[in-house]
Amino acid sequence: MEFSIKASAPEKLKTGALVVPVFSDGALGAQGLAIDAATAGQLSRLVARDLEEKSGTLLALPELPGVAAERVLVVSLGKRDEFADKAVRSALAAVGKWLAGSRATSAALCATDFVAGARDLPWTLRTAAQALFDATYQYEAPYGKKDGKSQSKRLAKVEMLLVGKSDNATKAALAQGAAIASGMALTRDLGNLPANYCTPTHLADTAKKLGKQYKLKVEVFDRAGIEKIGMGSFLSVSRGSHEAPRFIVLHYNGGKAKEAPVVLVGKGVTFDSGGISIKPGEGMDEMKYDMCGAASVLGTFKAISELALPINVIGLIPATENLPSGTATKPGDVVTSLSGQTIEVLNTDAEGRLILCDALTYAERFKPAAVIDIATLTGACIIALGHHPSGLFSNDDTFARELQDLGQDCGDRAWHMPLWDDYQEQLKSNFADMANIGGRPAGSVTAACFLSRFTGNYKWAHLDIAGTAWKSGAEKGATGRPVPLLTSYLIARAGR
Ligand code: BES
Ligand code: MN
Ligand code: ZN
């Protein structure tokens, strides 16, 4: 999908769908008024008669006299005094969904009219690009899929109509929204791809492809290479599977050679059966999504590459399956991590932390400015926070605060959770330096505590995306989160 900015009269624009927002009091913005005048008041009459109040409800008006667009799509922003970020997002999501199901191949948004409340035009454009692209996402299978649905036409072109000229900040914001959206699409594709296609090798190949496309250095270690590094904890998870593990290292060098990089670490368990501590059968298919942290790292690399951000970023992805077999790690086994610390594996289903801990130790060699790991780490995080925010843990409260605020801005929220020393004692083991589980209380916190033992002395945040990386049920599918949050952080660091 291509986005552009245009400063033309909305009523004169030839497009598949001209999108106009309106508050529930029926009052139109400047662009809406121009369209209304061109239709001799028909737009406002139809809005007053037929449009419902709730934000996100739509009214599609084909072939309005005096308007060049094939259709005018009116969307409600709800009540003016209740107006907030959420109303814009739900309105745009509804528009995107409608457009995706329509035959329109192009659309134009009366963007200036969407600016309301506390947010400015750049925020509105970034949000609009992200929301529209996201709502029109379609999973494309590399295998046949007979779903019987008629192929709707693809929305290819979206114009953002402005009153007056746009400045650099406005243009940059639109580019950011589009880049974030295209990163999210990659993350969603990888997440949705079944585990028999999305193997560790496939993740590595995807990284290499990104490397070719954007001139990134990409290193890939195989089982022998991982062993040579000394990642005994990571390898203990791979032991049960015939599928080859991979350790993937991506280097994005947009900044000065000496500038300390941000390191992103993504959990890449391409299928989590639980191993010998096997999971119950129901819903186990969703454990193909256990590589969404890795996919979000790749999606973020795509986004920052498209934006050519002037910073240095390293991506680390430990990728493996977690399966039971005669060679699998057993409960009670003790493994030695890259850090030298020993771990008693009391539950082979707590495997995410076992692969991440070695990657976190590996991160130290880059002398990072900050490290963020992203992982579908614990079911307990869903119990604590549900599906709205990701869990956010950090050894630096200011850093946590910064990420939490950025998440609020970009609509990809995270919530700061405690990482107090008090929880550490739950990880005590009689037979090793630590156990890999901390019992039932505060499962997402003890998982983060486990990781904290491998973070050396760098600034670190951990995002538990178990509740946010994908949706279950009728809408089953990857969400592309937290690519918006990660990319927003890197954009902020780059001073854009
Ligand atoms: N990948 C799962 C976490 C998960 C479960 C994410 C359900 C999303 C939905 C992780 O590897 C896991 O199995 N964690 C265990 C940890 C426990 C054994 C301490 C869990 O959450 O049950
Ligand atoms: Mn598990
Ligand atoms: Zn897992």
139 and 240 inside one domain: no
List the Cα angle 322/434/231 in 5-degree steps. Answer: 50
Q: Tell me whether residue 170 is in a domain.
A: no
Task: State which H helix or E strand residue 374 sits in.
Answer: strand 370-375
Residue spans of alpha helices (H) in 146-230: 168-192, 200-214, 223-229
394 and 445 inside one domain: yes
Report CA(311)–ligand 3 centroid distance (Å): 31
293 and 440 inside one domain: yes
Q: Tell me whether residue 176 is in a domain.
A: no
260 and 145 inside one domain: no
Q: Which residues contact 339 (CB under 8 A, 6 or more apart)?
A: 357, 358, 361, 453, 454
Look up the CATH number of the domain holding residue 349: 3.40.630.10
Please provide the DSSP assignment of 429-492 as one string: -SSSSEES---STTHHHHHHHHHHTT-TTS-EEEEE-TTTSEE-GGG-EE--TTHHHHHHHHHH
Task: Report how far residue 333's alpha carbon sits from residue 338's, in angstroms, rounded to the nearest whole number.
Answer: 16
Note the ligand closest to the C-alpha atom of 320. 3
291 and 154 inside one domain: no
**What is the reported pLDDT for 146?**
67
**What is the reported pLDDT for 153?**
64
Residue minimizing CA distance to atom 3 of ligand 1: 378
Residues with CB under 5 A from ligand 3 (ion): 269, 272, 290, 352
pTM: 0.97
Domain end point (choices 133, 163, 193): 163
Report CA(139)–ligand 2 centroid distance (Å): 26
Task: Report how far residue 298's alpha carbon sits from residue 120's, in angstroms, rounded to the nearest whole number.
Answer: 30
Q: Are strands 370-375 and 460-464 parallel, antiparallel or unpaired?
A: parallel
Pocket test for ligand 1, best of 273, 277, 378, 437 (most atoms within 8 A of CB): 378
Q: Tell me whether residue 157 is in a domain.
A: yes
Give ligand 1 pocket residues (Cβ under 6 A).
272, 290, 347, 349-352, 376-380, 437, 443, 466
Domain end point (choices 163, 190, 217): 163
146 and 262 inside one domain: no
Look up the CATH number of the domain holding residue 28: 3.40.220.10
Q: Tell me whether residue 175 is in a domain.
A: no
What separation, in Å, do the N-terminal and C-terminal C-alpha atoms of the chain show? 23
Report CA(277)–ligand 1 centroid distance (Å): 11
114 and 150 inside one domain: yes
Catalytic residue set: 279, 353
Cis previous bond, 310, omega within 30: no
Q: How many CB atoms within 10 Å of residue 115? A: 18
Pocket test for ligand 1, best of 291, 292, 349 (most atoms within 8 A of CB): 349
Domain count, the chain: 2
159 and 185 inside one domain: no
Q: Tell me whether residue 173 is in a domain.
A: no
Q: Tell me whether residue 398 is in a domain.
A: yes
Show the domain range for 192.
181-493
Residue minimizing CA distance to atom 8 of ligand 1: 466
Spacing of C-alpha 204 from chain mean position: 19
Note the ligand closest to the C-alpha atom of 377. 1
Q: Tell me whether residue 83 is in a domain.
A: yes
Report CA(82)–ligand 3 centroid distance (Å): 40
282 and 148 inside one domain: no
Q: Tell me whether residue 168 is in a domain.
A: no
**pLDDT string in tens for the chain (496-residue length):** 899 999 999 999 999 999 999 998 888 999 999 999 999 999 999 999 999 988 999 999 999 999 999 999 999 999 988 888 999 999 999 999 999 999 999 999 999 999 977 899 999 999 999 999 989 999 989 998 766 454 556 899 999 999 988 899 999 999 999 999 999 999 999 999 999 999 999 999 999 999 999 999 999 999 999 999 999 999 999 999 999 999 999 999 999 999 999 999 999 999 999 999 999 999 999 999 999 999 999 999 999 999 999 999 999 999 999 999 999 999 999 999 999 999 999 999 999 999 999 999 999 999 999 999 999 999 999 999 999 999 999 999 999 999 999 999 999 999 999 999 999 999 999 999 999 999 999 999 999 999 999 998 999 999 999 999 999 999 999 999 999 999 999 999 999 8
134 and 55 inside one domain: yes
**Three-state DSSP state, 77:** coil
Ramachandran class of 131: left when φ > 0, alpha when ψ lies in -120 to 50, beta otherwise: alpha
For 248, half-sphere exposure in the C-beta direction (CA atoms, 13 angstrom radius) is: 36
275 and 407 inside one domain: yes
Residue spans of alpha helices (H) in 193-307: 200-214, 223-229, 232-238, 292-307
**What is the reported pLDDT for 148?**
47
Q: Are strands 334-336 and 342-344 parallel, antiparallel or unpaired?
A: antiparallel
Task: Report how far residue 225's alpha carbon sits from residue 210's, in angstroms, rounded to the nearest whole number.
Answer: 22
The alpha-carbon radius of gyration of the chain (Å, integer) is: 24
**What is the reported pLDDT for 152?**
57
324 and 460 inside one domain: yes
